[in-house]
Amino acid sequence: MIDGKKVMLSGMQSTGMITLGNYLGALKNWVHFGDDEDIKCFYGIMDLHSITVRQDPKELRANAKRLMLLYIAAGLDPEKNCLFFQSHVPAHPQLAWILNCYTYMGEMNRMTQFKDKSAKHADNINTGLFTYPVLMAADILLYQADLVPVGKDQIQHLEITRDIATRFNSIYGDVFTIPEGYVGESGAKIMSLQDPTKKMSKSDENPNASIFLLDDKDTIMRKFKRAVTDSEGCIAYRDEQPGVKNLIDIYNAVTGKSVVETLKEFEGMGYGALKERVGETVAAELEPLQARYKELEGNKDYIERIMKDNAAQASYYAEKTLRKVKKKVGFIEMPR
Ligand code: TYM
């Protein structure tokens, strides 16, 4: 709790260009919570997480800045929500180190994302990649978050966060709030448009597999037109038709409609018309975001002020928790 308000925290890695999956699984839900006066929200641009995979420094900087603009363009008001860069708040890696000493190798070994990523980057299986969930736990626990809105793929990381926090609390008393995950009803796992058995990902080598948030309308329409479906020829919401199911999920996540409503609306429609309808809907959803993004691009001074103010605000709360943790563990306080 902060000032009697519940705390919400989430974030994205500043790697590549964020996708429609990131938007529908996370960002769109964050915007929804941003309007609630009873919740204090923190949203990080998780640049420390990004270097678990080798990054070009110039690109990393550009991606991180762009992500800040996209958060704001999507509707997160930086005067109400604390939008910060993880690398501006040193308490994150400091708490992560401490929590590393309360986390077991066996726990990290079980993480499916570690297994997937180390298979994908076999030439760079670094220890940062291995302990990545501990840094994520620190991100969350530093702000005493009650609620963490994420897509389905982050649930395992959230569970380990709860385990680490519970373990720490059982040794030292009530230090950390135990966070709950929040996964939206639709959009929690948006799949690749080219292989609907795989999740839509920023790092997919096939650019047609993902819709990127700054794709223009023609590109969006073209990618949906090429989306892989099946030869059944009927619009149904079932696992045997993952491509069609994914298009319905995307449509529902954007419009807020239920599966029943959508199936009724699409009754008798062919796949071509379905793809066109979904493409139009997504393009219309992203158009105002893209227009705001363009405006913000020219507003350097405003963005710099936001970066500075919000880093100070995030640090204030994070340092408070870190001081408490250090004291509990037994470190000597620095004389003031
Ligand atoms: P990241 O950067 O991979 O993804 C950001 C958010 O987008 C969601 N997401 C998806 N949702 C639906 N369909 C998809 N295809 C899809 N792809 C991604 C993710 O679930 C996530 O919510 N480790 C995190 C970043 C992080 C974090 C945190 C999140 C670091 N510290 C603290 C919450 C709290 C990550 O790599 O997300």
Q: What is the pLDDT of residues 290-332, one digit of tens each?
A: 999 999 999 999 999 999 999 999 999 999 999 999 999 999 9
202 is catalytic: yes
Q: What's the rounded Cα separation, in Å, for the pair 125 and 206?
A: 23
What CATH class has 217-295? mainly alpha
Q: Would the pLDDT of 12 be above 90?
A: yes
Q: How far is the CA of 11 from the centre of ligand 1 (A)?
A: 7
Q: Determine if ligand 1 sits within 6 Å of the CB of residue 47.
A: no
State which fold the 6-182+300-329 domain adopts.
Rossmann fold (3.40.50)
Q: Determine if ligand 1 sits within 6 Å of the CB of residue 199.
A: yes
Residue 220 buriedness (CB in 10 A; 0-12 / 13-18 / 19+): buried
Q: Would the pLDDT of 35 be above 90?
A: no
What separation in angstroms does the CA of 44 have from each of 171, 191, 220, 237?
29, 24, 27, 35
| 149 membership: H or E segment, kind and range | strand 147-149
Q: Please give the model's pTM, rounded to 2 decimal places.
A: 0.96
Q: What is the pLDDT of residues 131-143, one digit of tens each?
A: 999 999 999 999 9
Q: What per-residue confidence (pLDDT) applies to 33?
A: 86
Q: How far is the CA of 334 from the centre of ligand 1 (A)?
A: 36
Q: Determine if ligand 1 sits within 6 Å of the CB of residue 200.
A: yes
Q: Determine if ligand 1 sits within 6 Å of the CB of residue 211.
A: no
Q: What per-residue confidence (pLDDT) applies to 34?
A: 79
Instruction: Choose, from 5, 80, 152, 202, the residue flagged as catalytic.
Output: 202
Q: Determine if ligand 1 sits within 6 Å of the CB of residue 22.
A: yes
Selected residue with higher pLDDT from 328 and 32: 328
Return phi, psi of residue 261, to 5°: -60, -45
Q: For a pocket test of ligand 1, which of 31, 50, 150 has the largest count of ligand atoms closer than 8 A to its C-beta? A: 150
117 is catalytic: yes
**CA nearest 329: which of 175, 179, 177, 178?**
175
Q: How far is the CA of 232 from the centre of ligand 1 (A)?
A: 33
Ligand 1 atom with minimal separation from the 150 CA: 22
Q: What per-residue confidence (pLDDT) applies to 186?
A: 82
Q: How far is the CA of 21 from the centre of ligand 1 (A)?
A: 9
Q: What per-residue confidence (pLDDT) applies to 239?
A: 96
pLDDT band at 75 (very low <50, low <70, confident <90, very high): very high
Ligand 1 atom with minimal separation from the 135 CA: 31
- Domain limits of the chain? 6-182+300-329, 217-295
Q: Would the pLDDT of 179 be above 90?
A: yes
Q: Average pLDDT, whole number, for the chain?
A: 96
pLDDT band at 285 (very low <50, low <70, confident <90, very high): very high
Q: What is the pLDDT of residues 225-253, one digit of tens each?
A: 999 999 999 999 999 999 999 999 999 99
Ligand 1 atom with minimal separation from the 200 CA: 15
Q: How far is the CA of 23 from the centre of ligand 1 (A)?
A: 10
Q: Would the pLDDT of 335 be above 90?
A: no
Q: What per-residue confidence (pLDDT) applies to 113?
A: 92
Q: Would the pLDDT of 336 be above 90?
A: no
Q: Would the pLDDT of 197 be above 90?
A: yes
Q: Would the pLDDT of 1 be above 90?
A: no
Q: Report the share of the chain in percent with pLDDT over 70.
A: 100
